[in-house]
Each structure stands twice: as structure tokens, then as C-alpha cells.
């Protein structure tokens, strides 16, 4: 394979990025910045407030009648114009981008509104009436497997959508004859790398040609283009997909925009005009895409010296409500490297994929790595502890030997290059492990909680497009035909003035591809950096692309930059031939430097690059015989090592395998349970480094996201399927204050399989850092069952046991999560009014009085003496919405006590609750005591969770203030008066 | 303040990046939407629409403010500055912007305009700002790409440069 010489070259230098000037001055062109046709309308999506429910009716009359609304669509309207999205396993199940008869996760699209602007579109959403019949939601993947568990997809008959078992070597014998057997069970949570720019789509339909034209901040893989075209029922050439020049981060997440490409395309077709959709943050957190949560049991057979002779994996993967392409890829991306950095010959794997009432999963930085390595590296830690060995010694004992590369793993991966032993030695030495150990010993001697963790990880990059077919049985694969490879593509073009343009299908989201490609091609052609311009926008109707195109699996440096180098080489060879004929030397003597082509042995014999380069345009007849044009060269490159799965299920799932070794020192605050990262060392072997500044940027960025995943971030669900982290104040992304600076080290062993020797680097810390921090926390606390995120409350539980309820009753009981998993609010209070018990009692049962005193009530109707219906508008935290309440009275003891029970339902959420009101005569009138208990779900639980308890108290307080006012004033405020009374007396004075 | 009709658009007169502008907005229109979609200055980005991520930060009368939590009508008569105003000339970068480029203080660039507007305020109001001041001001911003370290370095470099320029040969 061709390799670049580095001397005097452009590659390997941290040149300033060509992207930056525009981005720093506000001239970036992200999807929401692009010009659109003047008649473009805006799309808004009505989403399910329930985790699991049947849709009984949808009334769109009022929404359709709203001025400015062009179209309202339901799932059935979408289904009439589309087909179910392709599902990646053999299963009798459909996968629609919008709910039809049933909703299966909070945030699932239920209806679409197209209107003149986003404001009006959202107004119309509020006017759509949906009648749901709630079903029991299932959020726990293990409970989803129970025989009596509610089934999400009746056609499937089970929630277990796929199961496969694999066997490599002889794991049974290795395990049964092992000196030791050590196992660990892991429940890895859901999270997401959440780009700061959300999804965006601009879609148009041409009825004359039955063709769609869509721009979306999609990131690839473009295999998804086939899924979109099939779903829209058009050939691929009638589904033009373009990407904007800039994208505000993705980290895998923007692969998941594709269902919205389908929805926006159909909406544009029905509305008869272009449609634009920009996702909001609540939509993004609730329903864009999530990494998978996974329950793993991993067992190792271990020799007395700590050598691992077999691994047995049992992985239960939770892909949420639908198996969306390319899932269950998260489970199979690591298949070739399930033995990590270790030489382990016997492996058994059972993979099960389960569906639950949560957001469908998809790509997320690290893709499958965090889940696998959390189990593997926690287990290695535990093996050392159980056998009484040094943890680092157990890691070293099992490493793939440095002279074994390329090394074929038990499961079929081909580890391209590495020297793990040297990388670890250097990390320990240059990372100051000895000093760190002393620091730990000293901290412990002072009674502080300090721990050190390690993680050794193989970081796969450049995915084999065939790895996902490992989920099929060998027979199914034989029928479907082999899938393999990973086409990357680059075009180098020269215009009539001799300047160079590079075009790739890499779809960057901030990684600086344009800069690196300019470096690579400028070096090849002996040009200054600024002489090469790079375009990374992708247009499937005009550009060279294939299914592997896009920005994922850390494929840029290894594959795309390599393809660009190959394309530049082809042009370079032809330019050399042309120059040779003009300079009267042989082509092998032509060198390229400083914008000139010259005779290496006589540098004065030179000709300008521009003149040679332009010859193909202006004087093609003068080119030497047999020299092709130099106008444009497109190279598709797919590595031969990426073969289809073998009949024995061996799969080289990735082309390159970088190596990471991390060391982490943490201190845990005994009082608060807070985990503080005291020191972090991360050693990387990503092959040859093309741009050191960008490589370190990738490492730091991945590390920061991994710190978030380890300590703060979780897509949390209530047991009823309600989504609890719908704002960035609930889903906690680390700020600068929570992000320590890691020491980054590099040990380069170039990949023999890639044109430039580079490997991927962007995802590694997302795989290594969560488990490294967990290992350090385990070391500090001596706790085995470490669960993420390591929030202070969770750590405190390990320190002090579960929090007990307070021994004496409190005024307000804090928000608790009920047995059902819903947000449970409880509270009590009292108010005193100057009125007799009888008159208060009458007021409480009179709809007109209730309308006047219920905060935000528009209407209160008495259905019977014990049954009321009300329409109210309530604002809780950031969300204000209209609710329908249905209230029944029971246990009535006139005029002393009554129990109110019922439910509310609105676009923003739902609630159920009971309250007991008692009236007592006092010296000045009547004291009203109340206690309530309410459970709340839906959007209001997602965004207002932190505020609900306070908001409920305020609203209920307002109710009694209004009652007091209505009753005609109270007694003089006394020193003992409660807060509510003082407030109500204030109101009275102001009147 | 005149009483305004929710169903109508009303004029908003203010100063934007040093020039008087008159735009029209419904009462409920956000400043971020006015800047981006009515006036066409798309450098101010919207990341969360609830004031946490900081991408939409602009300066209103010299103070940093979230454009996503400000109604367009609230800036009547105010002086609003956005990221488009930072560069001294079209082909030049301000010292802060140049430091970001030099130190790789950005990747995707989506959060960058808001961060620049916060740091621009800080360095103007407190030229002596050090690492901890900078970190504190950055804590109102979320960046998902960089891990922040290079942003802090860029800001420190810009502050240092500014101090040198203000006290030449002192």
C-alpha cells in the first residue's frame, strides 16, 4: 500500500482550519440558515404523551380550520403514500415513521401540521384532539421478555425480535476446565451525545416527475438513502438527498433524522409546497434517537495466573419501540473485537434484541463500544481482585502480543497493527502512575476515598458494511447474497485556470475534513494549502457516493482521506507525464513542489503547475500519447480486508483497530457522594496522525462526552414509559466546570491497510472513559455493582445505604417516583376563611364558584351531583397548556369532608390524583385542610419534573386563596397565620 | 408602553450592530427568530430554546442575553450586537476570533457565536480576567465538540493580547 513520506510535508502538521473564518464570523451555512423557496411552509409534529396506548380517534377539524394551516396529516395519511421502513432482521413487524393505530413511546409522531410558520403550526397542534386508550408500558428490557409482558407489536407476538447464538473455538471446554470462573452483570443506561444543533429537513415534491428533493443535516451512512427511497416508493434517482455545507455536530445522532426526511417529504407532497422542519430541543431529547441500553452477563474462564481462556457473553439489547435501520447494528459493530485488546481463543455469544416502550435507538459516538467495554473491562478488574492479582498485571498478561499483528481474533476481526505493551508502558511512565499511586495511598491514609481505574480498549474504525448481516443466520445470508466492503470516494478536479478542487462524500459535522483533505492533496501535488479548495456537501443526484458514504465509524482519516490521496496520485502521475514531455525528461524524474513541476536532477528545468494542469482543458491534442485527461479523477476505494461474514459467523467488522489505554484517579466526597476526576491519562494509538490539533480535539471532545455519560447523563424513563429528562436542565451535559483536562499521549503504529496509515480516533474515549471512571470508583468504594451515571445520590446510596423516609412528618413531601414509575406528587396544607362551613361546602360543589376560583378554569360543568368536568389552562415551568379535567366526589360527609378524585388530560400531559378536603369550624370561620396525591405523565413530566411539586403547591394554594376571597374575606392575620393565609390577606387588601 | 394586539405584527425599532433597523414582529416572536428569519442574520444560533445551551447569546445594551428567552418586542430602542459585528472588516478576524482559530477553539462552530458574545463582554468589562473568570463565564454555554480546554486557552490568549495592546511598552 502506498505510504506518504513525511519530510517537509503538509500532513502531520496542525495547520489552521480553513473552516474557521466563516464559522467564527457568523457566516456558517447550517440547515436553518439556507435560503428556501418563498412558498415554503413549516412543519410541526404532534407527539404521543403516552409510552404505550391505542389511538382510538383523532379529530383534526379545528386544526384544519385554523387560518394559515395548509395540511394536517395522520399516520394513515402518511401510510397511504409510503411503505413501511425496512427492518434489518427477519421478523413479522412493520416500522413506520409515525404512529398508525398505536403509540409505543413518548414522543412518537402522531400527526403532522403544515402551516405558514412554525408558530401557527404549533397553534394547530394544540387543536388536534386525540383519544388514547392507555396500555401498560414496558421499559425494562428483562421484564419485556416475561411471558405475560404486554407485547408492543402484536404481529410479532413477542418483544424478543431477534436472537442469535455464536460459538468460536471451544468455549464450553475452556469454561468447564478453568481454574477460575468469574462473571459480572452490567446494566448499561441510555444516553446520547446530543449535538447542539438539532435535526432539520427541507423537503419538496415534484408531482410532474414523481420525485422528491430533500435537504437534511443527515450524516450518513447513505445506505439509509435506500431505506428512504423504498419507504417513499420511488427509485433512488427520484429521491434526491442533499446535505448543507455546515452541520452543528452529530456524533452519530443525525443518522436518526431519516424518518423525518420521509415525513417531511410526504407532508410537502400533500401540502403542495416545500416544507421545512427544524426540531426543537424537547423533541430532540425525547424522540430523536438514543444509544441502546443493554443488560450484559459476561463470564470468563481464567487460569491461575490470570490468563483468560474463554469469554461467554450474554447480551440483551434494548432498541426501543421499533427496530430502525441500521439497528441492531449497535450490537454487531463490535462483533469482530469482542475480545477487546486481548488474545482469547474461545468465545461464546448470545445476542438478544428486545423492543420496549422507549425511543428507537440508532448511531451514537462509540456505537456499541461503551456497552461492550463496560462489561469487559469491569470483568478484567474483577478477575484481578478475585484472584488477588494486580489489575495491571492481568491486563498485560492477556494482551495481544506485539509481534502477532495483523492478528485474527476468535470472532473473525483482523487487528491491523499495534504495540499494546509499549503503549501501556509509556502511559504508565509518562502518565505518572507511580506518583498517582502514592497520591492514592496518601489520600487513603488521611481517610479520604480515592481510587484508580484502568481501561484497555481496541477502537474499531471504518465499518465493514457487511457486519450487520452477522445478525442473519448463515442460511439467511446465503439467500440474501453476501454483503461486505466499505466504498469511500474522493474526486480531485482541475479547472481551466489550473486550480484544484477536491470533492468527497464524507459529510463532516465539524471535524475539519476540508482542512485535512486540502493538506493531503496539496502535499501530493506540491501546492500551497490555499491552492486546494474542498467541498464536502453531498448531493446524491450529482456527486459520486455509495452506501458507505457519510461521517460515521470514524472512517474519515483512514478511508476518505486515503481515497483523496489515491485520486491525487492518479492525477499526479498524468501531470508528471505531461510535464516530462514538455521538459524533455522521463516522468520518473518529475517532482512537485511550490507550485512547480521540475526535473529532480535539474530543478531549473521547471514548468508551472497551472500550465501543466490546464493543458487538458485548453490543448488536449498536445498531451503525450496514452496520457488521459487531468480534468477530474474520481477514486472509489474499498479495502480487501473487509470480507463478508464467513459460514462460521466470523466477521472482520472493521478495517482499523486503534488502541487506547486510560488511567483515571478519582476522589469521592464522603459527605456529598460527588465523584471528582483528579487525574486522567489517555494513551492513543490511532495509526499515523494527519493533523495533531484535530486528533487531540477529537480525543478531548469524546472524553468530555464520556465524562457526561459516566457521571451525569441518562435518558431516564418512568415505569409508565413517561420520559423524565426533556430539558437540558434535566439531561445534564457537562459544562467547562465539570470537564477535566486529560493528559493525551500518542503511540503511532501506522495501519498497513489504509493509504495514509491512519486509523479512526474520534470514538475511542466514549468506549474507554466510562468504564475507566467506573473502575476508579469501584476501587475507591470497594463496590462491585457500579451503575452509570455515577450521580451523587447513587454514590451516596453505596456509601450510606438507601435513603430512609424522615422519622417525623414533614410539611411538604419531596417529589418521589411512585411504584408505577410516574412522577408522584404529594402534599398537604390548610387555609382559613371567614365563612361558615355550610357556605364553604356549597361553594365547593357549585360549578360557577369553582369556575371562578380554579386557577385558569375556562369552564366547569356539573355532570351530576358528584361528577364535574372542567377545562383549565395551567402553566408549569416552561410549558403552558390546556387540560380537560374529570373530577368525581366521593366519601362525602356534608359539610365536613369530601374526597375528590379524577384525571386530567391535555396535549402537554396527563395526571391522576385524589385529594381529601376537610372543613373544621374555627373562631373566625372555617379551616380547610387538604391532602393530595397526584401522578403526572407526558410532556409536562419531561420538561417540568423539577418544578412539578412547587407548581402543584402554588396552584393549589391559589385555589384556596381564591376560595377565601370568594368567601368574603378572612379574619385579621395573626402571627401564627400560615403563608397561604398571609398571601390571601395581601390579596384582600389589594382588592 | 402601547397596548399591542396579539394577532398583529408591530414595528420594532432598535439598533443592530451599529445600524438603526426597523422590523416587524408578532408579540410572541422571539428575538432569535426576528434576527434569523426576519432580518436574515443567521450567525445567532438556536440550540435549546430554553436558555440553557447559550448558543443564541447576543449583547443587548452591552450585556449578554439569551435571544431565545427574549421577545423581539423587548429590544425596542435597545442596542443589540450579534456575532456578525465582531470582525473589524470582512476579511479580518477580531483578536478573540483569531485566537479561537489558532487554538482550535471550535469544531462544528454551532455554539461558537454565543460563546464569542459572552467572552467579548467579559474581556471588555474585565480586561484583567484570568482562567477562573473565563471558566465561570463559559459555564453558561454548552459545547459538545471541544471539551472546552481549547476554548479556555483561546480566551486566555485573547485576554493576554488585549492587555499587551492596551499597555504598549508600559
B144 vs A24, A196, A736: nearest CB: A196
**CA atoms of A611 and A596, how far apart (whole Å):** 9
* H helical segments located in A82-185: 118-127, 171-176
Distance from CA of B113 to the nearest CA of A (A): 7
**CA atoms of A450 and A442, how far apart (whole Å):** 9
Residues A708 and A793 in one domain: yes
ipTM for this prediction: 0.98
Strand partners, B9: B26
pLDDT the model gives residue A877: 60
Q: How does pLDDT run across A88-123, given as a tens digit for each residue?
A: 999 999 999 999 999 999 999 999 999 999 999 999
Contact A700 B107 (CB under 8 A): no
Residues A661 and A784 in one domain: yes
Residues A846 and A953 in one domain: yes
Stated as kind and residue range, the H or E segment containing A293 is strand A293-302
Q: Among A613, A637, A661, give the residue marking a domain's end.
A: A637
Residue A649 — left, alpha, or beta (φ > 0 → left; ψ -120 to 50 → alpha)?
left
Contact B110 A728 (CB under 8 A): no
B49 vs A27, A281, A703: nearest CB: A281
Residues of B whose CB is below 8 A from A510 = 106-110, 145
Contact B109 A510 (CB under 8 A): yes
A292 part of a folded domain: no
Q: DSSP code of A210?
A: T
pLDDT the model gives residue A6: 45
Residue in B80, B65, B64, B36 with CA at minimum distance from that of residue B120: B64
**CA atoms of A646 and A84, how far apart (whole Å):** 30
| pLDDT band (50, 70, 90) for residue A822 | low
A878 vs B50, B141, B143: nearest CB: B50
Residues of B whose CB is below 8 A from A281 = 47-50, 53
Residues A536 and A583 in one domain: yes
User: Contact, A527 vs A675, CB < 8 A?
Assistant: no
Residues of A whose CB is below 8 A from B140 = 735
What residue segments make up the domains of chain B, in order of their start?
A: 9-82, 95-166
Residues A865 and A983 in one domain: yes
Q: How does pLDDT run across A478-523, given as a tens digit for each residue?
A: 999 999 999 999 999 999 999 999 999 999 999 999 999 999 999 9
Contact A693 B45 (CB under 8 A): no
Helix (H, G, I), strand (E, B) or coil at B159: helix
pLDDT the model gives residue A911: 79
**CA atoms of A155 and A303, how far apart (whole Å):** 47
Find, in chain B, the residue whose alpha carbon is nearest to that of A692. B104
What is the domain extent for residue A826? 816-990
Helices A391-398 and A369-387 sit at what angle, rounded to 10 degrees?
120
Q: Among A575, A605, A637, give the residue marking a domain's end.
A: A637
Residue A983 — left, alpha, or beta (φ > 0 → left; ψ -120 to 50 → alpha)?
alpha
pLDDT at A166 over 80: yes
Helices A420-430 and A391-398 sit at what angle, rounded to 10 degrees?
150
A728 vs B113, B142, B149: nearest CB: B142
A584 part of a folded domain: yes
Count of residues for chain A? 991
Residue in A840, A829, A986 with CA at minimum distance from that of residue A916: A829
| pLDDT band (50, 70, 90) for residue A283 | very high
| pLDDT band (50, 70, 90) for residue A803 | low
- The residue-averaged pLDDT of A176-190 equals 98
Q: What are phi and psi of A71, to 5 degrees?
A: -160, 150
pLDDT the model gives residue A901: 84
Strands A346-354 and A308-318: parallel
Distance from CA of B20 to the nearest CA of A (A): 20
Residues of B whose CB is below 8 A from A196 = 45, 47-48, 53, 55, 108, 110-111, 142-144
CA distances A592 to A575, A599, A612, A617, Å, are 10, 9, 11, 20
The grid cell for B135 is 471558566
**CA atoms of A470 and A298, how far apart (whole Å):** 20
Contacts 24+ apart (CB under 8 A), A4-12: A4/A523, A4/A565, A4/A756, A4/A757, A9/A523, A10/A519, A10/A520, A10/A522, A10/A523, A10/A529, A11/A519, A11/A520, A11/A523, A11/A690, A11/A691, A11/A756, A12/A688, A12/A689, A12/A690, A12/A691, A12/A692
CATH class of B9-82: alpha beta
Contact A119 B29 (CB under 8 A): yes
Q: How does pLDDT run across A907-950, given as a tens digit for each residue?
A: 677 777 888 889 999 988 888 888 888 877 777 777 776 677 77
Helix (H, G, I), strand (E, B) or coil at A529: helix
- The residue-averaged pLDDT of A964-974 equals 57
- The residue-averaged pLDDT of A830-845 equals 86
**CA atoms of A646 and B167, how far apart (whole Å):** 71
Q: Identify the residue among A30, A34, A117, A196 best suited for mutation to test binding to B, counting B beta carbons within 10 A and taking the highest.
A: A196
Stretches in chain B below the pLDDT threshold 70: 1-2, 168-170
Burial of A194 (0-12, 13-18, 19+ CB in 10 A): buried
The sign of the torsion formed by the CA atoms of A550, A553, A559, A560 equals positive
Chain A touched by B147 (CB under 8 Å): yes
Residues A932 and A893 in one domain: yes
Residues A688 and A587 in one domain: no
**CA atoms of A951 and A943, how far apart (whole Å):** 13
Order of strands, edge to edge, in the sheet holding A823-833? A816-817, A823-833, A926-937, A909-921, A897-906, A879-893, A867-876, A857-864
In sequence order, what DSSP letters do the residues of A598-636 get, joined into one string?
Answer: EETTEEEEEEEHHHHHHHHHH-GGGSPTT----SEEEEE
Q: Identify the residue among B68, B149, B155 best suited for mutation to test binding to A, counting A beta carbons within 10 A and taking the highest.
A: B149
pLDDT at A970 over 60: no
Residues 9-48 of B with CB under 8 A from A: 26, 28-29, 36, 41-48
Cis upstream peptide for A221 (omega within 30°): yes
A736 vs B53, B82, B135: nearest CB: B135
Q: What are phi and psi of A662, to 5 degrees?
A: -115, 145
The grid cell for A145 is 421478555
Helix (H, G, I), strand (E, B) or coil at A86: coil
Q: DSSP code of A343?
A: -
Residue in A643, A646, A641, A616 with CA at minimum distance from that of residue A631: A616
| Residue bearing the bigger pLDDT, A949 or A649 | A649
The grid cell for A326 is 441500521
A475 part of a folded domain: no
| pLDDT band (50, 70, 90) for residue A809 | low
**CA atoms of B52 and A735, how far apart (whole Å):** 11
**CA atoms of A870 and A318, how far apart (whole Å):** 40
Residues of B whose CB is below 8 A from A29 = 42
**CA atoms of A680 and A765, how far apart (whole Å):** 11
Distance from CA of A909 to the nearest CA of B (A): 19
Q: What are phi and psi of A183, to 5 degrees?
A: -135, 160
A248 vs B110, B140, B149: nearest CB: B110
Chain A touched by B150 (CB under 8 Å): yes
Residue B70: count of CB within 10 angstroms of its CB: 21
Share of chain B above pLDDT 70, in %: 97
Average pLDDT, chain B: 95
The grid cell for A697 is 480535539
**CA atoms of B128 and B162, how far apart (whole Å):** 9
The sign of the torsion formed by the CA atoms of B26, B27, B33, B38 equals positive
| pLDDT band (50, 70, 90) for residue A826 | confident
Angle at CA B14, nearest 5°, toward B27 and A21?
A: 105
**CA atoms of A305 and A179, how far apart (whole Å):** 9
Q: How does pLDDT run across A364-384, given as a tens digit for each residue?
A: 999 999 999 999 999 999 999
CATH number at residue A723: 3.30.365.10
Distance from CA of A732 to the nearest CA of B (A): 10
pLDDT at A215 over 50: yes
| pLDDT band (50, 70, 90) for residue A441 | very high
A601 part of a folded domain: yes
CA–centroid distance for A142 within its chain: 22
Q: Identify the residue among A14, A15, A20 best suited for mutation to test binding to B, counting B beta carbons within 10 A and taking the highest.
A: A20
**CA atoms of A634 and A432, how far apart (whole Å):** 48
Contact A510 B52 (CB under 8 A): no
Residues A792 and A892 in one domain: no
Distance from CA of A34 to the nearest CA of B (A): 9
Q: Among A595, A612, A637, give the residue marking a domain's end.
A: A637
| Domain B95-166 architecture | Orthogonal Bundle (1.10)
- The residue-averaged pLDDT of A646-671 equals 98
Contact A700 B151 (CB under 8 A): no
pLDDT at A637 over 70: yes
Contact A704 B106 (CB under 8 A): no
Q: How does pLDDT run across A682-716, given as a tens digit for each residue?
A: 999 999 999 999 999 999 999 999 999 999 999 99
Residue B82: count of CB within 10 angstroms of its CB: 25
Residues A855 and A946 in one domain: yes
Total domains in the fold of chain A: 3
A52 part of a folded domain: no
pLDDT at A974 over 50: no
Residues of A whose CB is below 8 A from B46 = 32
A974 part of a folded domain: yes
The sign of the torsion formed by the CA atoms of A902, A906, A911, A917 equals negative
Tell me, yes or no, if the two domains B9-82 and B95-166 fold the same way: no
Residue in A457, A255, A231 with CA at minimum distance from that of residue A341: A457
| pLDDT band (50, 70, 90) for residue A272 | very high
A533 part of a folded domain: yes
CATH number at residue A907: 3.30.530.20
In sequence order, what DSSP letters do the residues of A468-523 get, joined into one string?
Answer: GGGGS-HHHHHHH-------EEEEEEE-TTS-EEEEES---SSS-HHHHHHHHHHH
Residues 6+ apart with CB under 8 A from A422: A402, A747
Distance from CA of A804 to the nearest CA of B (A): 33
- The residue-averaged pLDDT of A314-321 equals 98
Q: How does pLDDT run across A863-891, given as a tens digit for each residue?
A: 888 888 888 887 766 567 778 888 888 88
Helix (H, G, I), strand (E, B) or coil at A186: strand
pLDDT at A816 over 50: no
Find, in chain B, the residue whose alpha carbon is nearest to that of A245. B108
**CA atoms of A550 and A483, how far apart (whole Å):** 18
Distance from CA of B137 to the nearest CA of A (A): 9
Amino acid at each position: 500500500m502506498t505510504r506518504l513520506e513525511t519530510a517537509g510535508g503538509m500532513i502531520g502538521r496542525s495547520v489552521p482550519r480553513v473552516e474557521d473564518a466563516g464559522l467564527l464570523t457568523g457566516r456558517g451555512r447550517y440547515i436553518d440558515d439556507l435560503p428556501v423557496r418563498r412558498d415554503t411552509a413549516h412543519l410541526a409534529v404532534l407527539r404521543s404523551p403516552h409510552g404505550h396506548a391505542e389511538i382510538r380517534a383523532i379529530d383534526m377539524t379545528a386544526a384544519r380550520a385554523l387560518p394559515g394551516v395548509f395540511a394536517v396529516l395522520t399516520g394513515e395519511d402518511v401510510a397511504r403514500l409510503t411503505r413501511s421502513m425496512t427492518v434489518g432482521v427477519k421478523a413479522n413487524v412493520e416500522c413506520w415513521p409515525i404512529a398508525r393505530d398505536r403509540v409505543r413511546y413518548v414522543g412518537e409522531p402522531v400527526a403532522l401540521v403544515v402551516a405558514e410558520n412554525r408558530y401557527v403550526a404549533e397553534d394547530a397542534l394544540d387543536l388536534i384532539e386525540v383519544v388514547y386508550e392507555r396500555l401498560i408500558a414496558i421499559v425494562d428490557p428483562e421484564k419485556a421478555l416475561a411471558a405475560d409482558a404486554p407485547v408492543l407489536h402484536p404481529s410479532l407476538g413477542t418483544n424478543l425480535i431477534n436472537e442469535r447464538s455464536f460459538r468460536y473455538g471451544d468455549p464450553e471446554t475452556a469454561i468447564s476446565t478453568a481454574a477460575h470462573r468469574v462473571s459480572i452483570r452490567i446494566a448499561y443506561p441510555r444516553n446520547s451525545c446530543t449535538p447542539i444543533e438539532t435535526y432539520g429537513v427541507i423537503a419538496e415534491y415534484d408531482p410532474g416527475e414523481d420525485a422528491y428533493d430533500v435537504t437534511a443535516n443527515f450524516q450518513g451512512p447513505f445506505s439509509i438513502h435506500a431505506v428512504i427511497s423504498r419507504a417513499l416508493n420511488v427509485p433512488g434517482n427520484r429521491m434526491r438527498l442533499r446535505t448543507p455545507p455546515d452541520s452543528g455536530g452529530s456524533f452519530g445522532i443525525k443518522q436518526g433524522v431519516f424518518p423525518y426526511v420521509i415525513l417531511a417529504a410526504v407532508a410537502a407532497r400533500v401540502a403542495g409546497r416545500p416544507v421545512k422542519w427544524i426540531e426543537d430541543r424537547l423533541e430532540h431529547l425525547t424522540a430523536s434517537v438514543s444509544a441502546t441500553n443493554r443488560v450484559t452477563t459476561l463470564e470468563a474462564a481464567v487460569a491461575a495466573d490470570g490468563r483468560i481462556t474463554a469469554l461467554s457473553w450474554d447480551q440483551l439489547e434494548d432498541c426501543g419501540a421499533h427496530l430502525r435501520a441500521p439497528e441492531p447494528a449497535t450490537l454487531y459493530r463490535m462483533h469482530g473485537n469482542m475480545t477487546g485488546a486481548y488474545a482469547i481463543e474461545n468465545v461464546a455469544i448470545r445476542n438478544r434484541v428486545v423492543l420496549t416502550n422507549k425511543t428507537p435507538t440508532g448511531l451514537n459516538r462509540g456505537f456499541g463500544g461503551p456497552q461492550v467495554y463496560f462489561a469487559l473491562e469491569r470483568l478484567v478488574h474483577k478477575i484481578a481482585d478475585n484472584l488477588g492479582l494486580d489489575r495491571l498485571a492481568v491486563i498485560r498478561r492477556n494482551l495481544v502480543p506485539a509481534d502477532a499483528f495483523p492478528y485474527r481474533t476468535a470472532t473473525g476481526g483482523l487487528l491491523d497493527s499495534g504495540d499494546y505493551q509499549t503503549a501501556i508502558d509509556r502511559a504508565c511512565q509518562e502518565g505518572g502512575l507511580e506518583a498517582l499511586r502514592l497520591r492514592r495511598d496518601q489520600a487513603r491514609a488521611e481517610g479520604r476515598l480515592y481510587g484508580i481505574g484502568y481501561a484497555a480498549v481496541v477502537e474499531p474504525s471504518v465499518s465493514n458494511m457487511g457486519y450487520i448481516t452477522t445478525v442473519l443466520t448463515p442460511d439467511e445470508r446465503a439467500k440474501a447474497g453476501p454483503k461486505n466492503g466499505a466504498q469511500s470516494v474522493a474526486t480531485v478536479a482541475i479547472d481551466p485556470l489550473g486550480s484544484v478542487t477536491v470533492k468527497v462524500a464524507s459529510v463532516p459535522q465539524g471535524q475539519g475534513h476540508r482542512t485535512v483533505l486540502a493538506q493531503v492533496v496539496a502535499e501530493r501535488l506540491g501546492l500551497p494549502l490555499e491552492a486546494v479548495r474542498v467541498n464536502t456537501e453531498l448531493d446524491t443526484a450529482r456527486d459520486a457516493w455509495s452506501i458507505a458514504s457519510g461521517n460515521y465509524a470514524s472512517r474519515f482519516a483512514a478511508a476518505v482521506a486515503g481515497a483523496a490521496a489515491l485520486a491525487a496520485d492518479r492525477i499526479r502521475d498524468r501531470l508528471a507525464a505531461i510535464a516530462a514531455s514538455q521538459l524533455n525528461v522521463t516522468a520518473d524524474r518529475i517532482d512537485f513542489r511550490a507550485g512547480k513541476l521540475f526535473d529532480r536532477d535539474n530543478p531549473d528545468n521547471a514548468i508551472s503547475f497551472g500550465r501543466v494542469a490546464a493543458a487538458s482543458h485548453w490543448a488536449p491534442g498536445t498531451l503525450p500519447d496514452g496520457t488521459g485527461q487531468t480534468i477530474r479523477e474520481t477514486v472509489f476505494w474499498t479495502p480487501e480486508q473487509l470480507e463478508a461474514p464467513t459460514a462460521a459467523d466470523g466477521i472482520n467488522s472493521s478495517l482499523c483497530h486503534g488502541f487506547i489505554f486510560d488511567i483515571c484517579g478519582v476522589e469521592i466526597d464522603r459527605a456529598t457522594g460527588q465523584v471528582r476526576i483528579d487525574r486522567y491519562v489517555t494513551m492513543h494509538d490511532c495509526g499515523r496522525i494527519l493533523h495533531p490539533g484535530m486528533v487531540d480535539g477529537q480525543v478531548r471532545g469524546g472524553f468530555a462526552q464520556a465524562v457526561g455519560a459516566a457521571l451525569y447523563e441518562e435518558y431516564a424513563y418512568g415505569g409508565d414509559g413517561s420520559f423524565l429528562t426533556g430539558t437540558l436542565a434535566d439531561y445534564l451535559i457537562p459544562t467547562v466546570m465539570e470537564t477535566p483536562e486529560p493528559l493525551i499521549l500518542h503511540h503511532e503504529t501506522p495501519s498497513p491497510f489504509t493509504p495514509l496509515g491512519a486509523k479512526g480516533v474520534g470514538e475511542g474515549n466514549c468506549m474507554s472513559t466510562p468504564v475507566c471512571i467506573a473502575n476508579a470508583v469501584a476501587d475507591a468504594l470497594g463496590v462491585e455493582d457500579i451503575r452509570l451515571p455515577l450521580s451523587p445520590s447513587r454514590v451516596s446510596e453505596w456509601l450510606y445505604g438507601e435513603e430512609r423516609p424522615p422519622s417525623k412528618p414533614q410539611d411538604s413531601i419531596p417529589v418521589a417516583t411512585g411504584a408505577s414509575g410516574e412522577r408522584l406528587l404529594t402534599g398537604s396544607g390548610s387555609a382559613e376563611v371567614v365563612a361558615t362551613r355550610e357556605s364553604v361546602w356549597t361553594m365547593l360543589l357549585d360549578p360557577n364558584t369553582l369556575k371562578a376560583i380554579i386557577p385558569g378554569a375556562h369552564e366547569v360543568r356539573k355532570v351530576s351531583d358528584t361528577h364535574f368536568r372542567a377545562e383549565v389552562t395551567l402553566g408549569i415551568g416552561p410549558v403552558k397548556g390546556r387540560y380537560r379535567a374529570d373530577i368525581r366526589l366521593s366519601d362525602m360527609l356534608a359539610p365536613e369532608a369530601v374526597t375528590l378524585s379524577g384525571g386530567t388530560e391535555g396535549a402537554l400531559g396527563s395526571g391522576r390524583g385524589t385529594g381529601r378536603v376537610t372543613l373544621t369550624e374555627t373562631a373566625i370561620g372555617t379551616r380547610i385542610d387538604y391532602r393530595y396525591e397526584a401522578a403526572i405523565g407526558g410532556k409536562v413530566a419531561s420538561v417540568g419534573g423539577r418544578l412539578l411539586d412547587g407548581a402543584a403547591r402554588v396552584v393549589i394554594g391559589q385555589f384556596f386563596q381564591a376560595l377565601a376571597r370568594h368567601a368574603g374575606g378572612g379574619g385579621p392575620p395573626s402571627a401564627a397565620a400560615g403563608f397561604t393565609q398571609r398571601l390571601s390577606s395581601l390579596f384582600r387588601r389589594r382588592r | 408602553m402601547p397596548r399591542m394586539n396579539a394577532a398583529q405584527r408591530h414595528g420594532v425599532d432598535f439598533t443592530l450592530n451599529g445600524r438603526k433597523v426597523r422590523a416587524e414582529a408578532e408579540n410572541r416572536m422571539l428575538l432569535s427568530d426576528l434576527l434569523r428569519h426576519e432580518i436574515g442574520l443567521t450567525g445567532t444560533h438556536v440550540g435549546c430554546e430554553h436558555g440553557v445551551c447559550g448558543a443564541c447569546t447576543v449583547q443587548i445594551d452591552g450585556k449578554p442575553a439569551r435571544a431565545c428567552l427574549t421577545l423581539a418586542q423587548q429590544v425596542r430602542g435597545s442596542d443589540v450586537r450579534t456575532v456578525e459585528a465582531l470582525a473589524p472588516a470582512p476579511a479580518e478576524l477580531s483578536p478573540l476570533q483569531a485566537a479561537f482559530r489558532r487554538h482550535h477553539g471550535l469544531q462544528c462552530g454551532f455554539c461558537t457565536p454565543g460563546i464569542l458574545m459572552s467572552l467579548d463582554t467579559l474581556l471588555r468589562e474585565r480586561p484583567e480576567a484570568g482562567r477562573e473568570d473565563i471558566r465561570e463565564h463559559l459555564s453558561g454555554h454548552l459545547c459538545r465538540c471541544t471539551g472546552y480546554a481549547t476554548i479556555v486557552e483561546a480566551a486566555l490568549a485573547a485576554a493576554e493580547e488585549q492587555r499587551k495592546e492596551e499597555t504598549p511598552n508600559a
